[in-house]
Each structure stands twice: as C-alpha cells, then as structure tokens.
Amino acid sequence: MAYVALYRKFRPHNFRDMVGQEHITKTLKNQIKNSRVAHAYLFSGGRGSGKTTTAKILARAVNCLNPIDGEPCNECEICKQALEGSLIDISEIDAASNNGVDNIRDIREEVEFIPTSGKYRVYIIDEVHMLSTGAFNALLKTLEEPPKHVIFILATTEPQKLPVTILSRCQRFDFKRISIDDIIKRLKIICTESNIEIEDGALKIIAKMSDGAMRDAISILERCVADGSEKISEEQIRELVGIPEIDYLLGITKDILSGEAAKVLQDSENLINSGKDLDVFTWELIKFIRDLLMLQISDNLVVYKDEDKAKMQALVSNCTKERLLELITEISLLQNSMKWATDKEVIFETGLIRITMNGSLENKTANVKQNASQNVASNTSAAVAANASEKVLSEDDKNKEEVLTLLKENHKMIMHTILKNAEIKKVDEDLVHIIFSKTLDDVNKQYMQKDDSKIVIKEMVKKVFDKEMKIKYVF
Ligand SMILES: [Zn+2]
C-alpha cells in the first residue's frame, strides 16, 4: 500500500466530523445560524484536541456562500479557495515563530481593510501564548475595538500564560482530551475508508498511546501503514511504538517496596553510573508506579507486554493502593526538590533511601500495632500489648504517628509526606516543636507556612494532645 497522509486526508472539514468536542461545535453552529458570531474566540486545550481544525472550519463557515445548518458547504468558490489555502481573507499565524510586535502591527493595519471576497477577515493565531508582551499589547488594542468584519481565533495549549486583559475580551472554549473510545471509533472509520485491516487490540494500543490527541493517534497509524503492511496486528504496533523496557523500573520499585535500603542505594548508584538523566528517570518511575496502581484498579494496561504485566501484577499483589499513592506523592516531592538542587545525585540518592526507609518503618509500626491488637483479641493482657508498642516507639514518635494517621485520614497527603520526615517534639506542657528535615525545599517550606496549612496542623495536633497546643516550626 502506498503511503498516504492520513492526517491531512481525514482532517474533518465539517463540525459534525469533529470528534469529542460536541459541546463546542454545537454552540459554534448555532452562532453561525443565528448570525451571532463573536469577534474574538479563545480555543484552549491540549495538543491534537482539534483547536486548529475547528478554527479552520469556523473560518470557512462564516464566509461560506451557502452554509448548511451552520456548516460550511465546502463546495462554493470561497470554501474551495479556503480549503486550498488561497483565500486571503483567512490568515493563519503561528505565534511561536511570529511573536514580535511588528507581526501584530501588520495585522492591525490590515484589519482596517474590508475583506476581499468573503464576509469576514479571519485571523487564526496558533500558540498565542508565545506572543511577546509588546505583541500582546498591540493585539489588545485591536481586540478592544475590532472592526465589524474581523474575527480573531486565538488557539493555545497554555491559556494560563495569557494576560487577563486578552482573556476577558474573548469568548473561550475549552477543548477536552479526546476519549479512548472516541479515538478508536474515528480510527476505525479511517481504516475502513482506506482499506486498512487492523486488529482491535492494535487500535486500542494506538488510542492509549495517543493520550487524548487525535493527531498523534493518526500519526502512529500512519507510521504502521508507511511500513508497507496491509494488515496491522497488535504485535506490530507494540514493536513500533516501543513498549517500555521496564526491568530497571521493576527492580528499583521492588526494592523500595520491600524496604531494602542497601539495595536501593546500589540501584541508584548503578543508575547514576549508567549516565541516565535522573530527572527523566524520576518521571518514568512516577509514571510506572502510577501504572502499578492502575493495574490494581483495572486490568486495562495495554502498553505493557504480557510477561511484564505478570511481573508487575506479582509486585503489587502484596502492596496496598495507599502505599503506591504515597510513593507517587513522595517521589513527586523528591522530583520537585531535585529541580532546584545543585547536587542532584545526592538529593536523588538520599531521597530514595529516605522513601524506602519510611516505608519499612511504617510496615514495622503497622505490624506492631497489628500484633498488639491480636494480643488483645486473644485475651492476653492489654499491658503486654502496650509494652510491645512502647519498646518501638517513644512518646514523641507515637504522637507523630497519630498526627500522620489523622493527616492521611483527611487526605492531606503533601503535609503527611513532609511531616513524615519531620520530628514532632513536645517541649513543654502546651508547646510542640515541629522540626523539619534539612532537605525540605523552599516550595514545601512555604507550603507549610501558609495559613491554611497551619490551621490543619493545629487542628490535628489538638486532637492528638487532647488540648490546644502552641506550635513552633523549626527549620
Ligand atoms: Zn461554501
């Protein structure tokens, strides 16, 4: 089969062919039918979610000579020119490469002229958040009093980077990530129309890999077709997309979960020696543990080989969802502190060991508590059980454990993780010191000092000590 540019061929030309964004296309169609189009739109959403495609359809629909039910006819002279890209009333600007004030000034001068053949001059500005401050100011002047015959469609993956003054002048539409089912449906149509035979399992992998972006899904499909195969199997896709090698992730996760600090130290040394980028690795580890968690919840993890999946399953069979969640939070915090660290390797290594040891301490505590309650249950004197805990935990440690339990019960996981590495010391009848770890970074320090956080801590401490306590943070 010859190579076909599937993405271009199957780019929707009508609102009705857009996938997964009905909440947007319906509104736009109504506006066109009722001649109530706005002068400035903001399309925000992830890559491949259909922002530019929708903008192009809208640009044609407002100019089409025979619009049908709010859709462009795609057959009249104007639609044809627009589809060819030769209609000068529709301009597409990539703000990533044209981000200067001059580019926008050109537009400001241009907008004064009436459209040449259509009803509207439409400016589609892609990745608009990349504009310089000067360019934003120039654009704002135009948006403040746009001529009647001008429509701006601003598209961005990062709306939070836009000045409020711009946001407030636009009608905003948020594009959703496209669901796996919707992507599969669309891929099926494309395959049928292009005579591509494909296994359902393969479609599922493509849809999953594309992460809600139709463009990515189609480009993976395109790569398979370019391979020259007419029938695409699940196996082929796995090879093509490069299913992750997970042995090293499995190894280190196993050692962390079983609390083997010495092995984790060896693992991280091996990693550092292998020259792997530690930021990348930390991110992979977080994603991997997230996948382990997903595996506990559902079996729908298609990106792994069956044998790897079995190994993952074996790994998580002895481990709670809570522990996995906690690991994700802890490693995310570690990732944060690595970001600003001058000595990444040290932070990485000590961080992983701390996380490992925390887990094993918690296991021991849990075991002691469990033994204690079993003892009570089996009618052994409660004093024996109490002694058992006493041996392992000091008064301060017990208080800390209780605070941690309360934080967990109240889903304050960030505070939980931070306090886990802190000491809680009762220094006086009504005074508690919280001594934070030396490795606590500024972001977390600020987080703990927020009024909201302080209120939570105060409340938890009050519950544990049964009375109002003064709290002093020691950094
Ligand atoms: Zn038309």
Cite the DSSP H helix spans in 155-246: 164-167, 180-193, 200-209, 214-226, 234-241
The CATH number that applies at residue 110 is: 3.40.50.300
Whether 382 is covered by a domain: the verdict is: no
Q: How far is the CA of 77 from the centre of ligand 1 (A)?
A: 7
pLDDT at 219: 83
pLDDT at 245: 66
Which residues constitute the domain of residue 43?
21-174
The CATH number that applies at residue 467 is: 3.30.300.180
Q: Is the pLDDT of residue 134 over 50?
A: yes
- Strands of 40-44's sheet, edge to edge? 90-94, 121-126, 150-156, 40-44, 171-174
Whether 92 is covered by a domain: the verdict is: yes
Q: How far is the CA of 64 from the centre of ligand 1 (A)?
A: 4
Span of 81-90, 235-244, 362-371, 458-467 with lowest mean pLDDT: 362-371
Mean pLDDT along residues 8-20: 89
Most confident of 53-57, 273-277, 383-387: 53-57
Q: Is the pLDDT of residue 293 over 80?
A: yes
Summarised one tens digit per residue, pLDDT across range 28-47 is: 999 999 999 999 999 999 88
Mean pLDDT along residues 308-312: 86
DSSP sequence for 388-448: HHHHH--HHHHHHHHHHHHHHHTT-HHHHHHHHTSEEEEEETTEEEEE--TT--HHHHHHH
Do 430 and 314 share a domain, yes or no?
no
Whether 152 is covered by a domain: the verdict is: yes
Q: Which of 224, 241, 258 lies at the terminal end of a domain, its last residue? A: 241
Q: How far apart are CA 42 and CA 149, in angstroms?
A: 18
Do 237 and 185 share a domain, yes or no?
yes
Whether 106 is covered by a domain: the verdict is: yes
Most confident of 124-133, 355-364, 393-402: 124-133
Q: How far is the CA of 21 from the centre of ligand 1 (A)?
A: 22
Summarised one tens digit per residue, pLDDT across range 201-249 is: 899 888 888 878 888 888 888 877 776 667 888 888 877 766 566 788 8
Q: How far apart are CA 302 and CA 260, in angstroms?
A: 30
Summarised one tens digit per residue, pLDDT across range 247-274 is: 888 999 999 999 899 999 998 888 888 7
Do 68 and 207 share a domain, yes or no?
no
Whether 370 is covered by a domain: the verdict is: no
Q: How far is the CA of 382 from the centre of ligand 1 (A)?
A: 84
Do 52 and 148 share a domain, yes or no?
yes
Nearest to 60 by CA among 40, 43, 80, 39: 80
Do 65 and 191 share a domain, yes or no?
no
Whether 193 is covered by a domain: the verdict is: yes
Q: How far is the CA of 84 from the centre of ligand 1 (A)?
A: 13
Do 420 and 309 share a domain, yes or no?
no
Q: Is the pLDDT of residue 156 over 70?
A: yes
Q: Which of 192, 218, 241 lies at the terminal end of a domain, its last residue? A: 241
* 62 vs 466, more confident: 62
- Residue 124 parent element (H or E): strand 121-126
Summarised one tens digit per residue, pLDDT across range 60-73 is: 999 999 999 999 99
Do 36 and 169 share a domain, yes or no?
yes
Do 31 and 150 share a domain, yes or no?
yes
Q: Which of 191, 218, 241 lies at the terminal end of a domain, its last residue? A: 241
Span of 148-152, 222-226, 286-290 with lowest mean pLDDT: 222-226
| Domain count along the chain | 4
Q: How far is the CA of 119 from the centre of ligand 1 (A)?
A: 12
Whether 3 is covered by a domain: the verdict is: no
Whether 463 is covered by a domain: the verdict is: yes
Do 237 and 251 share a domain, yes or no?
no
Instruction: Tell me how far the alpha carbon of residue 349 is from its chain's centroid.
Output: 26
The CATH number that applies at residue 228 is: 1.10.8.60
Do 195 and 291 share a domain, yes or no?
no
**Which DSSP letter does residue 243 get?**
P
Do 284 and 265 share a domain, yes or no?
yes
Q: Is the pLDDT of residue 382 over 50?
A: no
Look up tokens 């997309």; give the residue: 241
Q: In 10 A of CB 13, how many CB atoms? A: 17
The CATH number that applies at residue 281 is: 1.20.272.10
Nearest to 48 by CA among 19, 24, 26, 74: 19
Do 228 and 271 share a domain, yes or no?
no
Q: How far is the CA of 60 from the centre of ligand 1 (A)?
A: 7
Q: How far is the CA of 11 from the centre of ligand 1 (A)?
A: 17
Q: Is the pLDDT of residue 363 over 90?
A: no
pLDDT at 56: 97
Q: List all residues 6 or more positions away from 235 whose beta carbon is below 8 Å from its beta carbon.
A: none
Q: How far is the CA of 15 from the centre of ligand 1 (A)?
A: 13
Q: Is the pLDDT of residue 381 over 70?
A: no
